[in-house]
Amino acid sequence: MQGLAAGAVVVGFSPAHQAWATEDGPDLTHVPPLDGSLTTDPEARQEAADDYGHIVHRTPIAVLRPGSVNDVAVMIRFARRFGLKVAMRGQGHVCFGQAQVRAGIVIDSRTLNQVHAIGADTATVGPGITWAELLAATAARGLTPPVLTDYLGLSVGGTLSSGGIGGASQRHGVQVDTARELHVVTGTGDVVVCSSARNRHLFDSVLAGLGQYGIIVKATVRLVPAPALARVYNLFYDDLGTYLADQLLLASEQRFEYLEGQVQPRPDGSPGWRYMIEAVAYYTPPREPDDAALLAGLHDDRSAAVITPSTYLAWQHRLDAAVEYLKAIGDWYRPHPMLDLLVPASRAERIVGGALATLTPLDIGIGPILLYPVRTSLFTRPLFRVPDERAAFLFSLLRTTANSDQELLRRQLASNRALYDANVAAGGTWYPIGAIADYDRDDWRGHYGALWSHVVEAKRRYDPDNVLTPGQRMF
């Protein structure tokens, strides 16, 4: 066991006091040997009591920095024995305490960040590695994950537990659709290898399972050849309906390898919104994109269109400078009550238009509003819930609370709830990494619909004592 703050060493756990002890005592249960470290250091616990949302704060009694997969299994078995809760935390990029545990144990996955193997079309990695680190390792071999999130500083284990959506999802699904095999520690402390051909039930439960049934400790994901270059097309619209129609056309015809879009304030400062398609063609010379063919039949303001060349890697790292800027000015550390909805394509103009009529730039803050289409047939993992239509739109409000204004935060959270309810009533779903206040078991039952019985059965089967990830407020 490694030393803690001020030289203290955890020697055991006192069930009577629900606390770790640094000295032997009569009621003490000794902590099993670990390859990593278990710390009660206040700084580590404070970090684990926060996330990107900076809204919810639940302090654990200890943080495990595992040195091996066995450490995770050992600590989950220990926690189960004494009725403690456990959650895995990667980069902490959720927004509403989902990976926090009051008076429990947070497992810091960042120490499990190894690249175990890179093959011709797969990579096997630890859960704490970021997608940026994985991309660096695969690009050196001319390969890339087929789906990358816009911000590459997220952990592989984190996005595989939630979904992992991005501009390539209209071609390849979400990141959970690219997973080939997982090593999982269940809520009973068992280490299980699962895939589509082996322990399929667990595989389908853990991918996008929000940490409820097992903790990912190793993942094998698909790779594809990496292109050399990217050509970025920014196309602008003043009318929401025309924008949505052109987006659906591009998604259905698969013209671009990457397809996203944004809702932006009007550049002249007048009320209302402008809409931007952000589409990217990837290529390797001597092949070149055909601009005329890619843009044929669209109804954008062609005089405002911007076409920008880039390398593939520079495009994937396009947000790095912006993230550093947000950290420098402090906005990275303000509350972020984000909301990510999946809106049925047939209802998108009504739902999105109604939402935008209630929103102002102040309601969003410095973050953008994303609005882009996906083809739901590509989403193969059952617990990643999507509308029952062939196409849907991700409508993502990446909110920041200006100046940490608590009254504004209250209004933003209330707005999130109202927008969520309207979308669900229209047959929509949500991507549950954001901030919705008072989300309870009845909401989860509605979210999973006919799959709720699978969810309940999987919890009883793999985490019968409800040890894992209480911050989701599902059980």
Mean pLDDT of the chain: 95
Q: Taking 90 as the threshold, does the pLDDT of residue 402 lie above it?
A: yes
Give yes or no for a contact between 378 and 173, defined as CB atoms under 8 angstroms apart. Answer: yes
The string of pLDDT tens digits covering residues 25-63 is 777 788 889 999 999 899 999 999 999 999 999 999 999
pLDDT at position 19, please? 79
pLDDT at position 15, please? 81
The string of pLDDT tens digits covering residues 90-124 is 999 999 999 999 999 999 999 999 999 999 999 99
The Cα 108–Cα 348 span in angstroms is 39
Q: Taking 90 as the threshold, does the pLDDT of residue 10 lie above it?
A: no
Q: Taking 80 as the threshold, does the pLDDT of residue 22 lie above it?
A: no
Tell me the average pLDDT across 172-186. 98
Give yes or no for a contact between 22 and 9, defined as CB atoms under 8 angstroms apart. Answer: yes
Tell me the average pLDDT across 397-421. 96
pTM for the structure as a whole: 0.95
Structure tokens given for 257: 């390898």
Tell me the average pLDDT across 73-78. 96
Give yes or no for a contact between 183 and 215, defined as CB atoms under 8 angstroms apart. Answer: no
Query: In which band, very low, low, confident or very high, does the pLDDT at 20 lie, cut at 50, 70 and 90?
Result: confident
pLDDT at position 8, please? 52
Q: What sign has the CA pseudo-torsion 320, 301, 261, 417?
A: positive
The string of pLDDT tens digits covering residues 283-295 is 999 999 999 999 9
The Cα 95–Cα 339 span in angstroms is 9
% pLDDT > 70, the chain: 98
The string of pLDDT tens digits covering residues 446-461 is 999 999 999 999 999 9
Q: Taking 80 as the threshold, does the pLDDT of residue 426 lie above it?
A: yes
Query: In which band, very low, low, confident or very high, does the pLDDT at 9 lie, cut at 50, 70 and 90?
Result: low
The string of pLDDT tens digits covering residues 329-362 is 999 999 999 999 999 999 999 999 999 999 999 9
The Cα 46–Cα 57 span in angstroms is 9
The string of pLDDT tens digits covering residues 203-255 is 999 999 999 999 999 999 999 999 999 999 999 999 999 999 999 999 999 99
Q: Name the CA radius of gyration of the chain, rounded.
A: 23
